[in-house]
Amino acid sequence: MAQYVYPAIFRLEDKGMYSVFFPDLEGCYTCGENLAEALSMAEDVLAFTLYDYEKDQRSIPLPSHHSSIPLKKNEFINYILCDTTEYHRRNNNRAVKKTLTIPEWLNEEAVSAGVNFSQILQDALKEKLHTAI
């Protein structure tokens, strides 16, 4: 997982809406009610699309240079940055059950103290992996 930068084509639609598509990535498009929303949605769809490429171990195409992309009326190019690692952390919070073994005496003391085993394990793994989220 990594950071990527891809050119996106923004097209001004009726009533100030924008449609957005990425010419280098098949099926990677979105829209927004205004430019700010379109930019936000573009980052999200780009991260989602590239995360799927990574997960499926598909080859990720190189981004085109903006000068090689033809534009139509009411279109402009903007580069969009995304981080698939951050996207994965934000959107893949499904709980996964793990079985572990600890000494009985330690379990009894932890239960008596009201320890949340799941939270302790999560905190320890984050510390071990140097992960802030």
* pLDDT tens digits along 17-59: 999 999 999 999 999 999 999 999 999 999 999 999 998 999 9
Torsion angles phi and psi, residue 68, rounded to 5: -95, 5
Distance CA(9)–CA(45), nearest Å, equals 13
- pTM value? 0.70
Identity of the residue numbered 14: D
Tokens of 88: 């994965």
Mean pLDDT rounded to a whole number for the chain: 91
Cα 3 → chain centroid: 10
| pLDDT for res 123 | 87
Higher pLDDT, 21 or 124: 21
Q: Which domains does the chain have, with CATH numbers?
A: 3-91 (3.30.160.250), 95-133 (no CATH)
Distance CA(67)–CA(84), nearest Å, equals 26
